[in-house]
């Protein structure tokens, strides 16, 4: 079993990161149209999972953990983000 190789502790502590694949959850996913994007950063500020990454002069969606809540699309003032069915967009990797 995997457990036997794990470090042993005498009490309840944890080391190393525990994480679940929340990218699996989403039904719809956001697609960002770079041409319409005004680079205001609102989507970056409001994404609860911090899926929107700021690059030097633009923003990009990292789909790894995106739960598909749709806040980014709702908050975007320039209509640059649309929610589409998961997997139906060429932007979405997951």
Partner 1 sequence: MPKTDVINGNKAAAVAVSLVEPDVIAAYPITPQSSIVEYLTQFVINNDIDSYMSEVESEHSAMSVLTGASLSGGRTFTATASQGLSLMYEPYFRASTLRLPVVMAVTNREMISPQTVWGGPQDSLSVRDAGWLQIYVEDNQEILDTIIQAYRIAEDKKVLLPINVCFDGFYLTHMTEKVEIPDKQDIDRFLPEYNPEHIILDSEKPMAVDPLTSGYLLMEYREKHLKAQQEALKLIEEVDSLYEGITGRSYGGLVENYKCDDADYVIVTMGSMTGACREAVDHKRNEGLKVGLLKIRALRPFPKQKVMEIISGKKAFGVVDRNVSFGWDTGIIYQEVKSALYDSKCYMPSVPFIGGLGGEDITIEHFEDAIVKIHEAYQNENNPQTVWLKN
Partner 2 sequence: MRETIETLSNNKELISPGISACVGCNVELTLRTVMRVLGPNTIIAIPPGCMGGVGVVGWNKKSGANVPVFFPLLDNTASMLAGIKAYYKKIGRDINVVAFAGDGASVDCGFQSLSGAAERNDNIIYICYDNEGYMNTGYQRSASTTRGAWTSTTPVSKEKVGGKKQHKKDFPMIMAMHDIPYMATASPAYIPDLVNKVKKAMEVKEGLAYIHVLNPCLTGWGIKPNESIEVSRLSVQTRFFPLYEVVNGDFKLTVDIKKPKPVEQYINKIKKFSHLSKDDIEEIQNYVDKKWNKLKMSCVEGGRNDEQ
Phi, psi of 21 (to 5 degrees): -85, 85
Question: Which one of partner 1, partner 2, none is in contact with 67 (Cβ closer than 5 to 8 A by kind)?
Answer: partner 2
User: Alpha-carbon distance 55 to 91, whole Å?
Assistant: 16
Which of 34, 38, 41, 88 binds partner 2 (CB under 8 A)? It is 41
Of the candidates 19, 31, 18, the residue with the CA atom closest to the CA atom of residue 94: 31
Compare residues 4 and 90 and give the one whose CB is closer to partner 1: 4
How many residues bind to partner 2 according to rule CB under 8 A? 37
7 belongs to the binding site for partner 2 (CB under 8 A): yes
CB neighbour list of residue 8: distance below 8 Å, 6 or more residues apart: none
Question: Which one of partner 1, partner 2, none is in contact with 11 (Cβ closer than 5 to 8 A by kind)?
Answer: partner 1
Compare residues 14 and 77 and give the one whose CB is closer to partner 1: 14
Q: Are 61 and 52 in contact (CB under 8 A)?
A: yes
């Amino acid at each position: 079993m995997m457990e036997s190789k794990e470090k042993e502790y005498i009490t309840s502590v944890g080391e190393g990161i525990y994480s679940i694949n929340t990218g699996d959850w989403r039904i719809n996913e956001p697609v960002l149209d770079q041409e319409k994007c005004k680079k205001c950063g609102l989507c970056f500020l409001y994404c609860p999972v911090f899926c929107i990454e700021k690059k030097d002069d633009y923003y990009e969606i990292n789909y790894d953990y995106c739960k598909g809540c749709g806040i980014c699309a709702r908050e975007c003032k320039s209509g640059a983000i649309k929610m589409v069915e998961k997997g139906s967009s060429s932007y979405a990797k997951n």
